[in-house]
Amino acid sequence: MPELPDITVYLEALERRILGRVLEKIRLTNPFLLRTAVPPIDSLAGRRVTALRRLGKRLVFGFEGDRWLVLHLMIAGRLHWADPTTQQKSPASRNTLAAFLFDSGTLTLTEAGTKRRASLHIVASEAALAMHDPGGIDPLTASLAAFAAALTRENHTLKRALTDPHLFSGIGNAYSDEILHAAHLSPVALTRKISRADLARLHTAVREQLLAWTDRLRRETGDAFPEKVTAFRPDMAVHGRFGQPCSVCGTTVQRIAYAENEVNYCPRCQTGGKLLADRSLSRLLKSDWPHTIDEAEALGRA
């Protein structure tokens, strides 16, 4: 799912292309994308784009007359731009959900796979727009005190707290793995039990990782439109790198799989060498489940 760095780069690319431009027409190819009926989506046609914002992991398009379009890409939704000056064609496939025709080009929304989770809402006021805000604080501007208050509001694991949109705005599965690795903290450590020093280190890691990845994505994209938005990047430290060496210490990256997500971590950098129990695998192996990375490596050599 696109997170704060990806959404930021999307918005910057859109600002250069559609801010101040007129939306001429909307082609909705999948009616299930639209989750509101009033005001009608066609009421945006002929209006000029006056604002572009991030609302958590949502992209917000502001139009003349206090009209707002709220787009949530979810896991597999992606945006594409067709620039008429370069005769670039808009992608057409069964994955296309909608196309927005501006006087400067065409913005297309696609969603890979068969599950249609991306959503589009049209609201008629800024007050109505606020109802789509999960309420998480901005991790880039939050003070240490505000960050600590949000993190410790409830006693959850660090992984769960960082990815809770009601606590922090824009952090998801991928960058939370990178943040926790940079902070040398276990993803299952409880929020109300970490020390002040660990809390301060986590606060710093959140800001540094999100800013570093945003800058990295900006450099990769340049003036082009971001077409390679993915949660799995080869230069990540641990996310998506299960079974590969940690970029810091060389220890094999481990993971805990649950539902449709997973936690990726380095046992030496983050858990003091302890292997975190995978619910399904540890239950299967029972007493044979290795408790430390040293035991696991010894079993591997054997």
Please name which of 55, 51, 52, 57 lies closest in space to residue 4, comparing C-alpha atoms: 57
CB of 152 closer than 8 Å to CB of 164: no
Burial label for 280, CB within 10 Å (0-12, 13-18, 19+), is exposed
Give pairs for 147-150: CB < 8 Å, separation 24+: 147/199, 147/203, 147/206, 148/199, 148/203
State the amino acid at position 23 in one-letter form: L
Top pLDDT among 88 and 86 is at 86
Adjacent-strand bridge partners of 79: 109
**Which of 130, 153, 180 delimits the end of a domain?**
130
When pLDDT is averaged across residues 97-119 and rounded to a whole number, the result is 93
Task: State residue 25's pLDDT score.
Answer: 96
The DSSP call for residue 75 is: T
When pLDDT is averaged across residues 67-92 and rounded to a whole number, the result is 83
* 219 Cβ contact partners less than 8 Å away, ≥ 6 residues apart: none
Residue 257 has pLDDT above 70, yes or no: yes
State the amino acid at position 265 in one-letter form: Y
The answer as to whether 95 is a domain residue is yes
The DSSP call for residue 138 is: -
Task: State residue 302's pLDDT score.
Answer: 39
| 3-class DSSP assignment, residue 52 | strand
User: What percent of the chain is modeled with pLDDT above 70?
Assistant: 89
Residue 84 has pLDDT above 90, yes or no: no
297 in the same domain as 148? yes
214 in the same domain as 82? no
Q: For 130-156, how does the pLDDT look when each residue is reduced to its tens digit (9 = 90+)?
A: 999 999 999 999 999 999 999 999 999
The CATH number for 113's domain is 3.20.190.10
When pLDDT is averaged across residues 3-31 and rounded to a whole number, the result is 97
- Chain centre distance of CA 171: 6
Q: For 158-179, how does the pLDDT look when each residue is reduced to its tens digit (9 = 90+)?
A: 999 999 999 999 999 999 999 9
CB atoms within 10 A of CB 211: 14
280 in the same domain as 152? yes
46 in the same domain as 101? yes
Task: State residue 300's pLDDT score.
Answer: 56
Query: Is this structure's pTM higher than 0.85?
Result: yes
Q: Mean pLDDT score of the chain, rounded to an integer?
A: 91
Task: State residue 290's pLDDT score.
Answer: 58
The CATH number for 223's domain is 1.10.8.50
